[in-house]
C-alpha cells in the first residue's frame, strides 16, 4: 500500500521579523558591529606596545641558524602553529611591526565570537547568541588574550574547540569528519589547551553510536601527539601537592565565573559559579540525551584544563591569571547555552542579556577598567624594555657580555648576545634612541640607567695607588676621567649612580668593605649626558684624569 502524495503548500513560510529573537536581522547586524568593534578596540589598545615576557625568547632564540626545531616545546607545550605564525610574521614585518603581529590574535577573537554565536544560535536563538559572544569578547579581565600576540597559541586551541563542537552539531559527512580531525590537529599543535579540547570531543563521540564510528577523528591526531610527546615532550607536573592543586583549580574556576560579570574578587565569582553549576545540574535531568552528552563533553574540557593547569602551574601562576580566564568563560558560557536548550526565548530576553553584558563591561572596577589597567601595565613594561634596549645599544656588542640580561624585571631571559643577533637578522629596532630615552617617563629612564650601570657603562674596578694629592670631587657629576672612592675605616661604602633617570641605581652587587678603594670610569658612547654619583660611607672621593 503506498502513501498518497500530498500537494505542496502554496503558503511560503513567514519571514522572521527584524528583531525576532530566533533569527531576526537585527542580531546579525549586532554581531557584525560586535566583531568589528572588538577588532578595532584590540588594535587601538595595543598601540605603542612591544613584545612581552617570554615572547622575547621566541624573538631571540627560536629563529635563525641553530635555533631549536619548531617541534621543541615552548613553555612545555607543543606550539608548532604558534611558532610558525609568530616567526613568519616576525620575518615579514620585523621587530617594530607590532600591529601585524596582532592580526592573528585579533582574527582568533573575532572567530571565537562568531563560533560562540553559531553554537548558541542553534540553542537559544540569534538574539541571546549575540549576548553570549559579547560576554566573551568584552571580558576585559582576560586582557592578556587581547593584548599579547603570543597568546595566539592558546586562542587557536580554544577556537578550534568551539569550532569542533559546532561541527558536531551538523550531520555527519566525509567532509565534516575531515574538518573535525583537522581542528583536533590545530588544537593540539597550538598549545597545551588542545589536550582538554580533544578529550572533550572524544567524550562526546564515545557516548553516541554515530560518534563511535568517527572516533578516528580524535584518535589519529592524538596518536600523532603521542609520537611528538615521546620524542620531545617535557612536563613539570607533580602530584606531590594535590591538595594545593585542587584548591588552585577551584579558585581559578571561581575567577573565571566572576570574569563573566566583571567581578575581580573571588567571593562573587564563587557564589555565581555555585549557582551556575546548580542550574546546569538541574537542567541536565530535563534535557534530552544529546544535551546531556554535550554537557558531559564541555564539563570534560573544563575539568581537564583546570586539573592539568593546576598540577603544572599552581606554584608559578596565581589562579586569577588573566590568560587562563578565557577558557573558563568560553566553556562555562557553552554549558549555560546547552542547559538553556529548549527554552522559549521571548522578544525582550536578548535585550536583557545585552544589558547585563554592558553592565559587566562598564561598571566601576569591571571589565573595561581591567582592560585599561592591562594596557597600562603592558605599556609601562614596553617602555621599560625599550629604554633598556636603547641603553645596551649605547654600549654596543663589543662591550657587553653575550649572557648579560638586559632588563630582568621587564623581560626575563632577554640576553644581549641573542638580542644583537636579532637586530642583525631582522628589520627595525624597538629600542629607544638617546633622544627618546631622555623624553621617556622617569621610571623608564631609571631602567635605562640600571641597564647601563649593570652592563659596565660606569665601569667599577679596584683602585690603583694614588698619584699625587687627592683632588676632591666637587658636586656629584662623574668627570670623563673617572673618580677614585675610598671607603671609611669603619663603614661600608655604598655606591649609587644615575644618568638619565631621577632615581639612584646601585653600582655593583655588594657594598665596598671598610678601608677599600675603588675606581669608577664612565665609558664613552653616543650620549653627552654625564653620570651622577652618590657615595655613602666614603672617606674620600677624588677626581681622576686631567
For residues 72 and 181, membership in a common domain is answered with yes
For residues 267 and 325, membership in a common domain is answered with yes
For residues 488 and 441, membership in a common domain is answered with no
Count of the separate structural domains present in the chain: 3
Domain membership flag for residue 2: no
| Residue corresponding to grid cell 522578544 | 347
Taking residue 69's Cβ as centre, other Cβ atoms within 10 Å add up to 10
CB 22 within 8 A of CB 345: yes
For residues 304 and 169, membership in a common domain is answered with yes
For residues 388 and 250, membership in a common domain is answered with no
| Three-class SS state of 356 | helix
Q: Which domain holds residue 532?
A: 458-543
| Residue corresponding to grid cell 627595525 | 428
Domain membership flag for residue 369: no
Alpha-helix runs per DSSP H in 396-491: 416-425, 434-439, 442-455
pLDDT at residue 413 in the model = 84
Last residue of a domain, one of 423, 452, 481: 452
Taking residue 344's Cβ as centre, other Cβ atoms within 10 Å add up to 8
The x, y and z cell numbers of residue 172, run together, are: 555527519
Domain membership flag for residue 5: no
Domain membership flag for residue 403: yes
Helix (H) or strand (E) holding 540: strand 538-543
For residues 351 and 394, membership in a common domain is answered with no
Domain membership flag for residue 389: yes
pLDDT (tens digit, 0 to 9) for every residue of the chain, 546 residues total?
Answer: 344 444 444 545 567 777 777 777 888 999 999 999 999 999 999 999 999 888 998 898 888 777 788 888 887 788 899 999 999 999 999 999 999 999 999 999 999 999 999 999 999 999 999 999 999 999 999 999 999 999 999 999 999 999 999 999 999 999 999 999 999 999 999 999 999 999 999 999 999 999 999 999 999 999 999 999 999 877 766 666 677 888 988 999 999 999 999 988 889 999 999 999 999 999 998 899 999 999 999 999 999 999 988 888 777 788 899 999 999 999 999 999 999 988 888 888 889 989 999 998 888 788 999 999 999 999 999 999 999 999 999 999 999 999 999 999 988 889 999 999 999 989 999 999 999 999 999 999 999 999 999 999 999 989 888 777 888 888 889 999 999 999 888 888 899 999 999 999 999 888 889 989 999 999 999 998 999 999 888 888 989 876
For residues 317 and 258, membership in a common domain is answered with yes
For residues 296 and 409, membership in a common domain is answered with no
pLDDT at residue 539 in the model = 83
CB 140 within 8 A of CB 371: yes
Threshold 0.85, pTM exceeds: yes
Last residue of a domain, one of 303, 335, 363: 363
Domain membership flag for residue 3: no
Alpha-helix runs per DSSP H in 314-366: 325-339, 349-362
Q: By 3-state DSSP, what share of the chain in percent is helix, strand and coil, each rounded to 5? A: 60, 10, 35
For residues 116 and 178, membership in a common domain is answered with yes
For residues 151 and 82, membership in a common domain is answered with yes
For residues 438 and 526, membership in a common domain is answered with no
pLDDT at residue 239 in the model = 61
pLDDT at residue 522 in the model = 93
Q: Bridge partners of 541?
A: 485
Last residue of a domain, one of 405, 426, 452: 452
For residues 204 and 158, membership in a common domain is answered with yes
CB 184 within 8 A of CB 356: no
CB 345 within 8 A of CB 128: yes
Domain membership flag for residue 9: no
Amino acid at each position: 500500500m503506498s502513501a498518497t502524495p500530498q500537494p505542496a503548500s502554496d503558503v511560503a513560510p513567514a519571514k522572521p521579523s527584524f528583531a525576532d529573537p530566533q533569527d531576526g536581522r537585527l542580531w546579525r547586524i549586532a554581531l557584525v558591529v560586535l566583531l568589528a568593534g572588538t577588532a578595532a578596540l584590540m588594535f587601538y589598545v595595543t598601540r605603542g606596545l612591544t613584545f612581552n615576557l617570554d615572547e622575547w625568547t621566541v624573538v631571540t632564540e627560536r629563529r635563525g641558524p641553530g635555533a631549536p626545531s619548531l617541534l621543541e616545546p615552548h613553555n612545555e607545550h607543543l606550539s608548532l602553529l604558534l611558532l610558525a605564525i609568530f616567526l613568519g610574521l616576525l620575518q615579514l614585518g620585523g621587530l617594530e611591526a607590532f600591529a601585524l603581529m596582532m592580526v592573528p590574535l585579533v582574527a582568533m577573537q573575532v572567530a571565537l565570537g562568531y563560533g560562540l554565536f553559531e553554537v548558541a544560535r542553534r540553542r537559544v536563538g540569534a538574539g541571546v547568541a549575540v549576548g553570549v559572544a559579547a560576554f566573551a569578547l568584552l571580558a576585559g579581565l582576560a586582557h592578556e588574550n587581547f593584548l599579547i600576540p603570543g597568546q595566539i597559541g592558546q586562542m587557536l586551541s580554544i577556537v578550534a574547540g568551539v569550532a569542533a563542537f559546532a561541527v558536531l552539531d551538523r550531520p555527519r559527512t566525509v567532509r565534516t569528519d575531515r574538518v573535525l580531525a583537522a581542528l583536533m590537529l590545530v588544537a593540539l599543535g597550538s598549545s597545551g589547551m588542545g589536550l582538554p579540547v580533544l578529550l572533550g570531543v572524544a567524550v562526546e563521540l564515545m557516548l553516541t553510536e554515530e560518534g563511535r564510528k568517527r572516533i578516528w577523528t580524535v584518535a589519529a591526531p592524538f596518536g600523532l601527539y603521542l609520537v611528538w610527546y615521546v620524542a620531545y615532550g617535557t612536563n613539570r607536573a607533580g602530584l606531590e601537592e594535590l591538595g594545593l592543586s585542587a584548591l588552585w583549580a577551584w579558585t581559578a574556576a571561581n575567577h573565571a565565573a566572576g570574569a563573566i560579570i566583571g567581578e575581580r574578587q573571588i567571593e562573587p565569582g564563587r557564589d555565581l559559579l555555585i549557582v551556575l553549576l546548580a542550574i546546569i545540574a538541574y537542567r541536565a535531568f530535563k534535557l534530552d540525551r544529546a544535551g546531556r552528552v554535550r554537557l558531559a563533553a564541555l564539563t570534560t574540557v573544563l575539568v581537564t584544563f583546570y586539573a592539568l593547569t593546576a598540577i603544572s602551574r599552581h606554584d608559578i601562576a596565581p589562579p586569577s591569571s588573566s590568560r587562563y580566564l578565557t577558557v573558563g568563560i568560553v566553556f562555562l558560557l557553552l554549558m549555560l547555552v546547552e542547559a538553556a536548550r529548549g527554552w522559549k526565548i521571548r522578544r525582550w530576553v536578548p535585550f536583557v542579556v545585552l544589558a547585563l553584558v554592558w553592565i559587566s563591561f562598564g561598571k566601576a572596577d569591571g571589565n573595561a577598567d581591567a582592560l585599561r589597567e592591562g594596557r597600562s601595565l603592558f605599556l609601562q613594561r614596553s617602555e621599560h624594555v625599550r629604554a633598556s634596549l636603547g641603553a645596551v645599544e649605547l654600549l654596543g656588542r663589543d662591550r657587553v657580555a653575550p649572557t648579560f640580561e638586559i632588563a630582568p624585571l621587564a623581560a626575563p631571559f632577554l640576553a644581549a648576545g641573542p638580542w644583537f643577533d636579532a637586530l642583525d637578522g631582522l628589520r627595525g629596532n624597538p629600542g629607544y634612541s638617546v633622544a627618546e630615552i631622555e623624553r621617556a617617563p622617569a621610571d623608564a629612564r631609571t631602567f635605562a640607567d640600571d641597564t647601563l650601570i649593570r652592563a659596565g657603562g660606569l665601569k667599577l674596578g679596584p683602585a690603583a695607588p694614588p698619584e699625587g694629592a687627592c683632588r676632591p670631587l666637587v658636586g656629584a657629576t662623574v668627570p670623563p676621567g673617572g673618580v677614585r672612592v675610598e671607603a671609611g675605616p669603619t663603614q661600608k661604602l655604598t655606591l649609587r649612580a644615575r644618568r638619565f633617570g631621577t632615581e639612584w641605581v646601585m653600582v655593583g652587587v655588594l657594598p665596598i668593605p671598610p678601608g677599600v678603594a675603588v675606581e669608577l670610569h664612565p665609558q664613552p658612547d653616543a650620549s653627552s649626558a654625564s653620570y651622577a654619583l652618590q657615595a655613602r660611607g666614603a672617606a674620600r672621593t677624588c677626581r681622576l684624569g686631567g
